[in-house]
Amino acid sequence: MYFPLQDIEAAKLNIDDPEHLRIHSLETFGTHDGPGIRMVIFVQGCQFRCLYCQNPDTLDVRGGTMVELRELVNRAIRQKSYFGDTGGVTVSGGEPLLQRSKLLTLFKMLHEEGINTCLDTNGRLNNAQVHDLLEHTDLLLLDVKHINDDIHHKLTGLTNRATLELAAYRESTGKRMWLRYVLVPGWTDQEQYLEEWAQHFSDYKTVERVEIIPFHQLGQHKWKLMNMEYPLKDTPTPSEEIRQMALGIFNKHFDNVILK
């Protein structure tokens, strides 16, 4: 179930302070962003400009709605009985690390209530504040857009350096991590770089799962509504041959690969 935030009383707030998180929307009973049944908080704001972005309405760091952290925790508590042993709360985006200090407070509050925490990020930042947040992150979902830095820059507007460094840091802590890869024809489907991507992470002990997410056109209408030119409007979804090629390469290096 997916809904905007008009029904949240705190939606009227327009202040930016440590007790409020700037978010785009919430999803209850989510099953695609981490294990089990989860409450997914989609935060507002992102510094990447991915050519295939499915949610361009989350990019503006000044948009969204300010919601009190306690309100989010209370909502999670009310849903806790549905989480079971594997579910919990996932913070996705936008890009969560832009609000890392607030998320640290939120994750601590969730842990006090015995609620599992999951962070879905592009890994753009890798610093002491992020490391503090990861200490309270039960599962890291890391989107590694491309292994080649030049192509990554063309695809997202920024380097992949921090993302790879963050992956290495997470590995050093021994804490759980899932990796995600969006398969885009003409951009991220090169056999050479798929092999290089897989080899880069093949020795990681903390990677429990790798997800291949085929590109689709479902977000194109949002670009149109925002009067933005969609650069991949003519890009097809990956063929079955391309999907199986990527799956075959990743299966050589990882035990648990999921083709979404």
CATH number of the structural domain 2-259: 3.20.20.70
pLDDT of residue 17: 80
203: which 2 tokens? 């020795």
pLDDT of residue 16: 62
Mean pLDDT of 15-43: 92
The whole-model pTM stands at 0.92
Cβ atoms < 10 Å from Cβ of 55 = 16
Tell me the DSSP string of 212-244. EEE--STTHHHHHHTT---TTTTPPPPPHHHHH
Question: Is the pLDDT at 85 greater than 60, yes or no?
Answer: yes
Q: 3-state DSSP call for residue 206?
A: coil
Tokens 């936008």 sit on residue: 94
- pLDDT tens-digit series, residues 114-150: 999 999 999 999 999 999 999 999 999 999 999 999 9
- pLDDT tens-digit series, residues 187-214: 999 999 999 999 999 999 999 999 999 9
pLDDT of residue 129: 96
Give percent above pLDDT 70 in the chain.
94
Mean pLDDT of 101-113: 98
Question: Is the pLDDT at 42 greater than 70, yes or no?
Answer: yes
Alpha helix locations (H) across the chain?
69-83, 100-112, 128-135, 149-156, 161-173, 191-201, 220-225, 240-251
Taking the domains of the chain in order of start, what are their residue ranges? Answer: 2-259
Mean pLDDT of 166-182: 98
Question: Is the pLDDT at 158 greater than 90, yes or no?
Answer: yes
Comparing 202 with 222, the larger pLDDT belongs to 202
